[in-house]
Structure 1
Amino acid sequence: MIVDPSVVLHDTVTAKLSGKDETKAKFFLGQKVKLLEDVKNDGTYPYLQIGEVMIQKGSIGYIRSVGDFLQVIRVYEVHFLDAEAVVEVIGCREHELEAMEPYRDLEAEEHAWMSEHYKNKS
């Protein structure tokens, strides 16, 4: 038997927030986050059995990039620095993460800085 029938997998892609995510991202690049639930291999990682824990709940990581799955589901690429983690970088949904520092609108900060820079230049 390849899969242990007692292992319950959780489909995090479609189980929660299956509709379109909000326009504005909840986390920003480089933001420190904590994982709210264990991430188990759903079969997409070839070096572990299906159902084995890849990254444990409570692990701390940093947002590395933000992308979209099927153009409606936001996925954050998170780099976990936990030495116990089997995989260091993994895609997570917003409901799987908790911010460990306040949100910063980096685009607004950059726009304000550039506006001030060009004002001082003239």
Structure 2
Amino acid sequence: MRLRREQEVEIRKPPRFMPGERVRATQHIKNDGTYPGREIGENLVRKGDEGYVRDIGTFLQQFFIYAVEWIDRGTIVGMRARELVSLDNVEIPCSVETPANRGAAR
């Protein structure tokens, strides 16, 4: 069995999220043993939970780790960018008509 390795050094680019940004979890996050006071395997964050980025750190000088405060749960959990989606900076598809492109020549 071959292990998948992530080759991209994420910290070469700017962080995807900034402190104060509202985010939503895209998957369930369980305690892998690094979260104190909780059992291994216990759910820390559920898919769809909403929180706010409090701080940005790095891991292995390769990845950004976002400290996200989950208000409803009363916890702060370190998350990777792939586990989050922004609720403040939502990308609008090009097919959506906005005042800026309404009536523009096509």
TM-score by length of 1: 0.62
Pairwise mapping of residues 83-122 of structure 1 onto structure 2 (< 5 A)?
85=73, 88-102=75-89
Counterparts in 2 of 1:46 and 1:64: CA distance versus 1, 3 Å: closer
Q: Does 1:45 align with 2:32?
A: no
Q: For 1:35-75, what per-residue CA distance to the aligned partner results, in whole angstroms no more than 9, with x for missing partners?
A: 11111010122433221211211111111011111111110
Pairwise mapping of residues 68-79 of structure 1 onto structure 2 (< 5 A)?
68-79=58-69
- Structure richer in helix, relative to its length: 1
Counterparts in 2 of 1:45 and 1:28: CA distance versus 1, 3 Å: closer
SS at match of 1:102: coil
4+ residue segments displaced more than 2 Å? 15-19, 45-49
Q: For 1:2-32, what per-residue CA distance to the aligned partner results, in whole angstroms no more than 9, with x for missing partners?
A: xxxxxxxxxxxxx785531151111111000
TM-score by length of 2: 0.71
Provide the residue aligned with 2:8 in structure 1: 19
- What 5-or-longer segments of structure 2 have no aligned partner? 91-106
SS at match of 1:64: strand
Q: How many residues align?
A: 86
Counterparts in 2 of 1:17 and 1:101: CA distance versus 1, 3 Å: farther
Provide the residue aligned with 2:44 in structure 1: 54
